[in-house]
Structure 1
Amino acid sequence: MTDKRKWLETTFGKAVKKAPERRPAFETTSGIRLDPVYAAGDVREGVDERLGLPGEYPFTRGVQSTMYRGRFWTMRQYAGFGTAEESNKRYRYLLASGQTGLSVAFDLPTQMGRDSDHPRARGEVGKVGVAIDSVRDMATLLDGIPLGQVSTSMTINATGGILLALYQAIGEQQGVAPAELQGTIQNDILKEYAARGTYIYPPEPSIRFITDIFAYTAKVMPKWNPISISGYHIREAGSTAVQEVAFTLADGIAYVEAAVRAGLDVDAFAGRLSFFFNAHNNLLEEVAKFRAARRLWARIMKERFKAKDPRSMMLRFHTQTAGSALTAQQPDNNIVRVTLQALAAVLGGTQSLHTNSRDEALGLPTEASVRVALRTQQIIANESGVADVIDPLGGSWAVEALTDEIEGRAQQYLTRIDEMGGMVQAISKGYVQREIQEAAYAWQRRVEAKEELVVGVNAFKSEDPPVPVLKVDPALEVAQAARVQALRRERDQGAAQAAVDAVRRAARGTDNLMPVIVAAVKAQATLGEISDALRDVFGEYRENVVL
């Protein structure tokens, strides 16, 4: 009998009989049963090999050898609303407040390839992000921001290549060569079909566009991350932590396979792949999730894709705290939630981090709320001490056991997806959507039954005074529509039309799309015009409803 078994049967057992535990069983959000205490025997043999050391395969303990002892993670605050002028003011404010990288939110028309004066854009311009229609808007958005010094993340998918082209054009206007530009476009269309919905084209041409971007950035913009493979939105849609890891890595596998089929050498592009994860409230599970994802991806790249370069095996990731965990009730409680989530991301070894603001369940964040969110990161970095030791929870029996369990369960999902023919097939069959929906439903049922307590929502309620909410002036939409109409009148129409026609021809053939899109944005073709040219050739995707 081990010491732990003896303790469970004697000391612990007697205590539980006298005073029962709070619940019949303790589980993580992924349904992993938690022991009351963990011991060495709870961790599988070979833990030292699975752990490795920071900066070395399998990167469980971090992708950099010095981690935050060298420099802190990049502190990005996701921001963008209204017009380019309004967002530019917010970016300047954030940079002046100590933010170390930009993170741009685009409005729905921009995400869906519609100009601001399009009938289907009405009522949505500038509401959930900034409206960008042309190279003029991008110049205004980035006015006064030195692109040779700032790393920029752009949350954009179906139109990601167009926004990348616009960014390159403005960089060149500032005198910054494309090879010196640093940043990331999200560019992850598979999770849009599964969890979010801002897709335009069907999967096959969408993935062709993505692999074109891989090839283009590898050659022209080597410091740019051409994709941020996103589990964030999968988790926001209701997945468990295990599903977030599995479905995100399955998307990554699909993109790598597509690039290899297109003739790219895996070590030529895989080192610039990046990932994007969610950070939820269950701190130990979240830390273990990040560590498991790193180790699993390293093994996939080494064993499945035969990568030779260690950088191809590194899972570098950005983290955003959980928007779905924010509550409209008692919004100040969200500051505490975000702090826990940010701490989990740091303990898990993130490369960059966005902390949500306390008022985001009510509307776009105010400047005061954004400042608190940024200060949360700065306090963790400079006052908590957790950044001074690499992988400080490494070796914890509980964390190592959870890391192993999450890795094993995620691998089971990956095996199942492979048996279906890959992630595209799994999505087309509705398997991924159904798994996420069932997990979201199960969680909601537990909250409604008070099996899971959400402070201020189903427990510890109180009536709090209302908090200020940022409102976007409807007049901004009128001004933005007028701006794009003025551009069409003032530009060289022949040059713009010829450039759009070139995009259409490239889409019909096999040439890389990026050079012609760069030429089109420089000719002042609009985002909507370029997107429509691709629509003419690729068509539009129609969702399969999963019940």
Structure 2
Amino acid sequence: MSTQKVFTSSGIEIKEVYSTCNPMQELPAEFPFTRGIQKDMYRGRLWTMRQYAGFSTAQESNKRYHYLLQQGTTGLSVAFDLPTQIGYDSTHAMSEGEVGKVGVAIDSLKDMEMLFSGIELEKITTSMTINATASTLLAMYIALAKKQGADLKKISGTIQNDILKEYAARGTYIYPPKPSMRLITDVFEYCSKEVPKWNTISISGYHIREAGSTAVQELAFTLANGKTYLKAALEKGLDINVFAKRLSFFFNCHNNFFEEIAKFRAARRMWANITKDLGATDERAQQLRFHTQTGGSTLTAQQPINNIVRVTNQAMAAVLGGTQSLHTNGFDEALSLPTEEAASIALRTQQLIAFESGVTQTVDPLAGSFFVESLTDEMEAAAYQYIDKIDLMGGSVNAIEQGYIQQEIADAAYQYQMDIEAGRQIIVGVNKYQSEEKVNPDVFRVDDSIRQTQIDKINQLKAERNNDAVSLKLAQLKEAAKGNENLMPFILAAVEEYATLGEIADTLRSVFGEY
């Protein structure tokens, strides 16, 4: 805890935490953690400043990572291209036109080695936004850490590994829900023993919100999915007081400043009660830790410089809401992947909030506001109405299979679009205060030729590796998939022999099928 005194520019001392005289009033780091999970919050340690980056080849992304680290980013966040996300090598016909476009192409451990060249995994925290193929990418990361000589007990980071929101909102799933859930709980079990500091899932509301949900729906569907993962792990015999400490969440932050702050405060309180009801007694297993990304779908291609203001507003709400980690979007993201300039401004936005705004100097600065406290209660009550309905349906998997969650999101997205078109919802520069603009801003482009680069690398890899050893490891993985063994050791063994991502995914497809 920080004991250093903090003052305003006028010399007024700022207390670490403010509360009423009411002894019943909750304090930070006390159940149910509405006010934050640390007693001193940002006075003790700032949030992790991440920049989500990945494009083209591993070599190109590696250059961007070194640039971001030089600019002061404190955690890396890896974006993967669509073929990597859905288990296709760059050589696959389905990969044409998509290699390296929305993230980096990772076909094998060779690419992972290049991606983190010159970066010690034991000294950095890495977030990987990957779901259907999460077990394979995590295995590659662990294999690389072993090659670097890292202590696996010390490597830390997060893997998204949240397949339920893919069925509900995003679409990058491969296998049916039940084998997908098996892969997720296998990762929980494996990491709790082998990589204990790794966050094994980032239960994601971000994509639910980007698909058009309301803030309440984002809150409700995310926590309902979290509850489903808890139950799946409990059914596997895992200890909730152990595995729940390694769950984290990933929320969106949109434009309605106070609604977003109330959402984060309600989320902590709700999750504390959900975990407690399912048997968690350790406070750290009851705490909701979360990463926030500012709202991509709120950014406009029109007057893109306005997006700097939007991102600042959203980032400030995330900080006032008590986030543990934050990514700020580039102002040009409605047009392309972020340029270096846009990525740098996005990171500077976080640094300005951290070091110049003063909002980090006390815990939960808006606590006690009649408006914020009331809105927190109302967000919680509205979210529980959804969660209770999903519970009656038998949980998130059933609700998704019945199309309920997808339909609720679609209805909300439709209503929002109708409000914009009718002028009830103002988007500055889009349906009000428009201006004439040049159509040719500087945008970041990824050349299609990199697919050939990746194909050449795969062909060279297959010529140089021990193909008999690869075949043996894939056969062993296939047999394990037919039974009930934890698949992570088998995936890791295949990765270490330089089996490709597509080969591993195809092996599992042959047993699990596709959804």
TM-score, scaled relative to structure 1: 0.89
- Consecutive unaligned residues in structure 2, runs of 5 or more: 1-19
Percent identity of the aligned residues? 62
Task: Verify: 1:391 aligned to 2:364, yes or no.
Answer: yes
Aligned to 1:489: 463
User: Aligned partners of 1:422 and 1:48: how far apart in 2?
Assistant: 38
Task: Verify: 1:426 aligned to 2:377, yes or no.
Answer: no
User: Aligned partners of 1:49 and 1:246: how far apart in 2?
Assistant: 31
The residue type equivalent to 2:366 in the other structure is L
Superposition map of 1:270-419 within 5 A:
270-303=244-277, 305-419=278-392
Aligned to 1:261: 235
Once the two structures are superposed, residues 53-100 of structure 1 have per-residue CA deviations (whole angstroms, 9 ceiling, x without a partner) of 111110000111111001110000000000000000000000000000
User: Aligned partners of 2:99 and 2:85: how far apart in 1?
Assistant: 11
1:119 alignment partner, one of 93, 102, 106: 93
Contact 1:51 1:59 in 2 (8 A): no
Aligned to 2:508: 534
Q: What is the CA distance between 1:396 and its match in structure 2?
A: 0.5
Which is worse superposed, 61-70 or 99-108? Answer: 61-70
User: Aligned partners of 2:117 and 2:24: how far apart in 1?
Assistant: 47
User: Aligned partners of 2:484 and 2:404: how far apart in 1?
Assistant: 31
User: Aligned partners of 2:514 and 2:459: how far apart in 1?
Assistant: 25
Q: What is the CA distance between 1:539 and its match in structure 2?
A: 0.5
The residue type equivalent to 1:354 in the other structure is H
Superposition map of 1:221-240 within 5 A:
221-240=195-214
- Consecutive unaligned residues in structure 1, runs of 5 or more: 1-45, 542-547
User: Aligned partners of 1:48 and 1:473: how far apart in 2?
Assistant: 62
- Note closer, same or farther for the CA distance 1:273–1:372 as it changes in structure 2 (3 Å cut): same
Aligned to 1:22: none
1:436 alignment partner, one of 409, 432, 441: 409
2:497 alignment partner, one of 503, 518, 523: 523
The residue type equivalent to 2:28 in the other structure is P
Q: What is the CA distance between 1:52 and its match in structure 2?
A: 1.7
Contact 1:301 1:312 in 2 (8 A): yes
Aligned to 1:137: 111
TM-score, scaled relative to structure 2: 0.95
Q: What is the CA distance between 1:49 and its match in structure 2?
A: 8.7
Q: What is the CA distance between 1:464 and its match in structure 2?
A: 2.8
Aligned to 1:96: 70
Contact 1:51 1:61 in 2 (8 A): no
Q: What is the CA distance between 1:177 and its match in structure 2?
A: 2.1
The DSSP-based 3-state class of the residue aligned with 1:178 is coil
- Note closer, same or farther for the CA distance 1:103–1:47 as it changes in structure 2 (3 Å cut): farther
- Note closer, same or farther for the CA distance 1:49–1:138 as it changes in structure 2 (3 Å cut): farther
Once the two structures are superposed, residues 346-397 of structure 1 have per-residue CA deviations (whole angstroms, 9 ceiling, x without a partner) of 0000000000000000011100010000000000000000011110001111
The residue type equivalent to 2:497 in the other structure is A
User: Aligned partners of 1:51 and 1:285: how far apart in 2?
Assistant: 22
User: Aligned partners of 1:383 and 1:330: how far apart in 2?
Assistant: 27
Count, aligned residues: 495
The DSSP-based 3-state class of the residue aligned with 1:289 is helix
- Note closer, same or farther for the CA distance 1:111–1:190 as it changes in structure 2 (3 Å cut): same
User: Aligned partners of 2:206 and 2:294: how far apart in 1?
Assistant: 9
Aligned to 1:502: 476
The DSSP-based 3-state class of the residue aligned with 1:393 is coil
Contact 1:82 1:125 in 2 (8 A): yes
User: Aligned partners of 1:339 and 1:253: how far apart in 2?
Assistant: 32
Contact 1:51 1:58 in 2 (8 A): no
Task: Verify: 1:213 aligned to 2:198, yes or no.
Answer: no
Task: Verify: 1:203 aligned to 2:159, yes or no.
Answer: no
The residue type equivalent to 1:451 in the other structure is R
User: Aligned partners of 1:329 and 1:308: how far apart in 2?
Assistant: 50
The CA RMSD over aligned residues, in Å, is: 1.2
1:107 alignment partner, one of 81, 88, 91: 81
The DSSP-based 3-state class of the residue aligned with 1:249 is helix
Larger Cα Rg: Structure 1 or Structure 2?
1
Aligned to 1:169: 143
- Note closer, same or farther for the CA distance 1:182–1:51 as it changes in structure 2 (3 Å cut): farther
- Note closer, same or farther for the CA distance 1:171–1:51 as it changes in structure 2 (3 Å cut): farther
Task: Verify: 1:446 aligned to 2:446, yes or no.
Answer: no
The DSSP-based 3-state class of the residue aligned with 2:127 is strand
Once the two structures are superposed, residues 175-230 of structure 1 have per-residue CA deviations (whole angstroms, 9 ceiling, x without a partner) of 10221110000000000000000000000000011000000010000000000000
User: Aligned partners of 1:418 and 1:115: how far apart in 2?
Assistant: 38
Which is worse superposed, 254-263 or 169-178? Answer: 169-178
Aligned to 2:7: none
User: Aligned partners of 2:287 and 2:441: how far apart in 1?
Assistant: 42
Contact 1:496 1:520 in 2 (8 A): yes
Task: Verify: 1:128 aligned to 2:102, yes or no.
Answer: yes
User: Aligned partners of 1:510 and 1:48: how far apart in 2?
Assistant: 53
Q: What is the CA distance between 1:268 and its match in structure 2?
A: 1.6
User: Aligned partners of 1:107 and 1:50: how far apart in 2?
Assistant: 50
The DSSP-based 3-state class of the residue aligned with 1:386 is coil
Which is worse superposed, 225-234 or 261-270? Answer: 261-270
The DSSP-based 3-state class of the residue aligned with 1:95 is helix
The residue type equivalent to 1:475 in the other structure is S
The DSSP-based 3-state class of the residue aligned with 1:183 is strand
- Note closer, same or farther for the CA distance 1:61–1:76 as it changes in structure 2 (3 Å cut): same
1:184 alignment partner, one of 158, 174, 185: 158
The residue type equivalent to 1:185 in the other structure is I
The DSSP-based 3-state class of the residue aligned with 2:391 is helix
